[in-house]
Structure 1
Amino acid sequence: MQFYAKSQDALALKSDVLVVGLFEGGSLSETAAAADKACQGELSKIIEREKFKANAGASLLLHHNLGQSATRLLLLGLGKQSSGKISAESFSSALQALANSIKSYRSATFALNGITVEEQSPQWQAQQLAQTLQTSLWRFDQLKSQKQPRPALSKVTLCTDKASLSTIKKGLSEGQALAEGINYARELGNLPGNICTPTYLARQAKSLSRNRPELSVKVLSEKQMKEMGMGAFLSVSAGSDEPGQMIVMEYKGAAKSTAPYALVGKGITFDTGGISLKPGAGMDEMKFDMCGAASVFGTMKTLLQLKPKINVVAVVAAAENMPSGGATKPGDIVTTMSGQTVEILNTDAEGRLVLCDALSYVQKYKPKTIVDIATLTGACVIALGSHAHGLYSNDQALADSLLAAGVRSGDRAWQMPLWDEYQKQLDSNFADIANIGGREAGSVTAACFLSRFTKEAKWAHLDIAGTAWKSGSAKGATGRPVAMLVNYLLNPA
């Protein structure tokens, strides 16, 4: 899909459909008002006759010639105005509905003139438009013998005033790059475990770096991890015929002396639970247990498009968690890269085991901050549902930055407690720490476990177990929290 920004009169541009905004309560956007004037008020009469309320996401398609050069006119409800502005939520709802309304047309024109979103710039509006259209119209059908028909929409023109033209172009570019990253994360998440293995992810990283001098990749083998003392990671991959992979991607957009930001993704490409075997119902969805890693891949893909002047080191801890004669057993004790010993009381609490060694490893880069992303606990799903990521951090400034990035991107998180009082639930009679802390506050104690390996770093943990994928008829990876991560990296303060 191609996006264009023009400082021309939207009514004069030819396309299959011109989209004009209306506000709840009868107010017209600047372009809608111009169209109404051009047709001597005929548009207002139609709106009144059809009782179009213009609530956010409502639409009405008109085949009338009402002064526009486009073949059709689509009225798009933008919701209520407050002091001449609409909420970001209303704008996002309108864009989601817009994607479905115009997907069958080859070209569309949309005018931003006179549409103001609370606490957001025209650049943000353009970015959201491009991102929403591309993610909404994306399809995952490469494994089907019969492909779905592709949406026809291939050209979108956004009209604005001349003063805003350069920022609108920048917003469209950012939105396209974000959409590519989000869709890439969704693709990786949707692939089944017999295709998307740890080795497959390692190949994907190397493919990303091809002809990209700003991105370097190295993959640590199990032999190398053993030499480094990563006993926790290796305890997870021990039961699988697929070798575990520690994938390291370094994006270099700033001087070598500039400390990098670090991302660490949980990449359990399939999670049976190991010896602590999961119930069979719904186990197919455990291919999504690598969605933390997928979000890291999607973020790196977006950074390669945008080329920001920062350094980022991304570590993906990729493994399968399988039961076998060589699998780790409940009660086994392993030694982590940090030297701390862990009693593994439940082999289904494996994400924290691969992550703790990855977190220890990434600290050798002396990063400014570390953010790990993981589908870590069902407890987080119970606590927050599917709307917000669970956020834990040992640094409030970092937590605030991530929370703000979530609000700006519409990919929100909620901060959870990381209090010392919870740490005692991880006490073990036989090792330094147990890998589970009982039924109470399961998401909190999982974060407490990780905090034992990040004491010297500014660190945050995102539990995305409730947000990384959808079940039911809409089953599939969401690509979250790529938008939040990119927003944070571009605006870390």
Structure 2
Amino acid sequence: MSTLTFTTARASADPAKTKTRCAIVAVFGNELSATAEALDSAGTLRAALKLGDFKGKPGETHMLPGIGNAERVMLLGCGERAQFNPAVARDAVQGLSTALNACSTTEALLHAADMLGDNVEGAWLLELVARTITVGSYRYTRTLSKPKDPLALKKLAVNPGKGLSSQKAQTALDQGAALGRGINYTRELGNLPGNICTPTYLASEARKLSRGNSKVRTQVLEEKKMRELGMGSLLSVSAGSDEPAKLIVIEYRGGKSGSAPQVLVGKGITFDSGGISIKPGAKMDEMKYDMCGAASVLGTLQAVIDMALPLNVTGIIAAAENMPSGRATKPGDVVKSMSGTTIEILNTDAEGRLVLCDALTFARRLKPAAVIDIATLTGACVVALGSHASAVYANNDALAEQLLQAGTATHDRGWRMPLWEDYRKQLNSNFADLANIGGPEGGSITAACFLAAFAEGYPWAHLDIAGSAWNSAPKGATGRPVAMLTRYLQDRAAG
């Protein structure tokens, strides 16, 4: 885990006199920022621009030998000043993160005041900086004998200028770093192989969140308890595996006692072979990522705990492994869910909805303010939206809009999809109350319609993250939608 820290530098400090191992200054096209001009008494930076090797494009960087009390100076391209906006700022900060990863400096000072203006707000930019650089510091090392070198940078100071108080600046940096750590935690869990990250492992990770924190309580329901509760749908998925299923409940009590919690429900299929409806061999290794919904619940809760948000949040993780064996559920079997609804299992590879439906029924016991489930649910979602947006389904327009706004604010975007009765009819069965698949058309929608049948009586949203939770090239978990979920919860905490 990174030991990277972020601090606020004094706004009144003279950049030419400030001692640092790496001063980072903005350049807009071929125009030096005010801070860069103040630093460039000998004309070194202007001379570098005249050479033409550095164009000042968004995210472009150029390292120069030290000037004054700065051992190095990094030029950070921000594009044309008139066109500098949040989208360009994201490109610039991503370029900064990449450059710092390639640099050996252990400390740096970012002069951020020149990047602020009517289109780019100070707290937003500082949160973006801390989040992006923290996410960029992630290295997967768990199963590598020769992992990549860690990020050399240990401390980044940020000078926000005089437009933002030191307290607000530090809060923005702290929240951005907390979000980045939550995203990285989610990525780490997703990247672990299925022989390490089992349902039992997820339960142990959940318990770690509550250690030493009186505001967090973790409870793990074993299969015996699930049988007593009537969770026949969830248990039908783990029937063919030697790994026991777990229903993990993590309660964060940061709000008023008795206040209705925001509930996050994560699909935790730690490996999905498809069961008896076994998947093709190509890319089956990527089915270790089928627990990324659960990982996002843990990552979001970690961020919420680190931020000490004043609200109540409960995470529910339905964890199981889907494997074929003589005990496995077969196509055509009928099971009874916790709600009493019977389900004809036409395809055992449509298992995520089978664990989630019992978790959604369990969530009703908590008298929630809202419930959001997160799942790598359908390949159809990947076909529909690719990797750029998570699919958003909801039975409540206000909840849907809140999630979409949170996604836009964090660039962890979603796209709303329909939940029409026309699609719901595709789940009709001659032998049970519902079938677990609805045919080849609108697969992501019919899956959401299935879940909607178990989410009546409270505001509910479903995020299908099958396209956004991981990348195939280069392979790795993305940590989405932790940013969207955390911002949604920050907004609810702010009232």
TM-score, length of structure 1 as denominator length? 0.95
| Corresponding position of 1:35 | 39
Aligned-partner SS, 1:63: strand
CA contact (8 A) 2:199 2:319 kept: yes
What's the CA shift string for 1:414-444, capped at 9, x where partnerless?
1111112111111111111111111111111
What's the CA shift string for 1:341-368, capped at 9, x where partnerless?
1111000000000000000101111111
CA-based RMSD of the aligned residues comes to 1.5
Aligned-partner SS, 1:71: strand
| Corresponding position of 2:60 | 58
CA contact (8 A) 1:30 1:113 kept: no
Q: What's the CA shift for 1:163?
A: 5.0
Q: Structure 1 residues 10 and 295, CA, compared in 2 at 3 Å: closer, same or farther?
A: farther
Q: Distance in 1 between matches of 2:118 and 2:301?
A: 30
| Corresponding position of 2:114 | 114
| Corresponding position of 1:161 | 161
Q: What's the CA shift for 1:53?
A: 2.3
| Corresponding position of 1:145 | 145
| Corresponding position of 1:129 | 129
Q: What's the CA shift for 1:162?
A: 4.3
Aligned-partner SS, 2:31: coil
Aligned-partner SS, 2:368: coil
Q: Structure 1 residues 28 and 419, CA, compared in 2 at 3 Å: closer, same or farther?
A: farther
Aligned-partner SS, 1:11: coil
CA contact (8 A) 1:198 1:244 kept: yes
| Corresponding position of 1:96 | 94
Aligned-partner SS, 2:124: helix
What's the CA shift string for 1:189-238, capped at 9, x where partnerless?
11111111101111111111111110001111111111111111011011
Q: What's the CA shift for 1:453?
A: 0.7
Q: Distance in 2 between matches of 1:177 and 1:204?
A: 18
Q: What's the CA shift for 1:179?
A: 1.3
Aligned-partner SS, 2:291: helix
Aligned-partner SS, 1:114: helix
Q: Distance in 1 between matches of 2:109 and 2:216?
A: 37
Correspondence 1:2 to 2:5: yes
Aligned-partner SS, 2:108: strand
What's the CA shift string for 1:79-124, capped at 9, x where partnerless?
2344xx6222211111111122123211111011121266552112
CA contact (8 A) 1:329 1:347 kept: yes
Q: Structure 1 residues 350 and 396, CA, compared in 2 at 3 Å: closer, same or farther?
A: same
Q: Map of 1:166-245 to 2, 5 A cutoff?
A: 166-245=167-246
- Unaligned segments of structure 1, at least 5 residues: none
- Unaligned segments of structure 2, at least 5 residues: none
Correspondence 1:304 to 2:302: no
CA contact (8 A) 1:245 1:318 kept: yes
Q: What's the CA shift for 1:17?
A: 1.4
Q: Distance in 1 between matches of 2:203 and 2:119?
A: 40
Supply the AA of the counterpart residue of 2:95. Answer: A
Q: Map of 1:53-92 to 2, 5 A cutoff?
A: 53-63=55-65, 65=67, 68-82=68-82, 86-92=84-90
Q: Map of 1:378-389 to 2, 5 A cutoff?
A: 378-389=379-390
Aligned-partner SS, 1:240: coil
| Corresponding position of 1:448 | 449
Q: Distance in 2 between matches of 1:490 and 1:202?
A: 26
Q: Distance in 2 between matches of 1:261 and 1:304?
A: 14
Supply the AA of the counterpart residue of 1:469. Answer: W
Runs of 4+ in structure 1 over 3 Å off: 117-120
Aligned-partner SS, 1:12: coil
Supply the AA of the counterpart residue of 1:485. Answer: L
| Corresponding position of 1:348 | 349
- Count, aligned residues: 485
Q: Structure 1 residues 429 and 81, CA, compared in 2 at 3 Å: closer, same or farther?
A: farther
Q: Distance in 2 between matches of 1:303 and 1:144?
A: 30
Aligned-partner SS, 1:213: coil
CA contact (8 A) 1:403 1:413 kept: yes
Q: Structure 1 residues 11 and 364, CA, compared in 2 at 3 Å: closer, same or farther?
A: farther
Q: Distance in 1 between matches of 2:56 and 2:414?
A: 30
| Corresponding position of 1:23 | 28
Q: Distance in 2 between matches of 1:53 and 1:311?
A: 49
Q: Distance in 1 between matches of 2:298 and 2:118?
A: 31
CA contact (8 A) 1:20 1:31 kept: yes
Aligned-partner SS, 1:334: strand
Supply the AA of the counterpart residue of 2:34. Answer: E
CA contact (8 A) 2:26 2:114 kept: no
Query: Quick check: 44-53 or 454-463, which moved more?
Result: 44-53
What's the CA shift string for 1:229-281, capped at 9, x where partnerless?
11110110111111100000000011222111000000000000000000111
Q: Structure 1 residues 90 and 117, CA, compared in 2 at 3 Å: closer, same or farther?
A: farther
Q: Distance in 2 between matches of 1:347 and 1:10?
A: 63
| Corresponding position of 1:479 | 479
Query: Quick check: 460-469 or 104-113, which moved more?
Result: 104-113
Q: Distance in 2 between matches of 1:486 and 1:458?
A: 18
Q: Distance in 1 between matches of 2:141 and 2:222?
A: 32
Aligned-partner SS, 2:35: helix
| Corresponding position of 2:19 | 14
CA contact (8 A) 1:95 1:129 kept: yes
Q: Aligned residues: percent identity?
A: 51
What's the CA shift string for 1:47-96, capped at 9, x where partnerless?
1322532111111222253xx421111111112344xx622221111111
Aligned-partner SS, 1:308: coil
Supply the AA of the counterpart residue of 1:89. Answer: A
Supply the AA of the counterpart residue of 1:70. Answer: A
Query: Quick check: 118-127 or 337-346, which moved more?
Result: 118-127
Q: Distance in 1 between matches of 2:409 and 2:17?
A: 33
Q: Structure 1 residues 225 and 94, CA, compared in 2 at 3 Å: closer, same or farther?
A: same
Q: Distance in 2 between matches of 1:485 and 1:117?
A: 27
Aligned-partner SS, 2:441: coil
Query: Quick check: 55-64 or 202-211, which moved more?
Result: 55-64
Q: Distance in 1 between matches of 2:76 and 2:100?
A: 11
Q: Distance in 1 between matches of 2:283 and 2:277?
A: 16
Supply the AA of the counterpart residue of 1:156. Answer: L
Correspondence 1:460 to 2:458: no
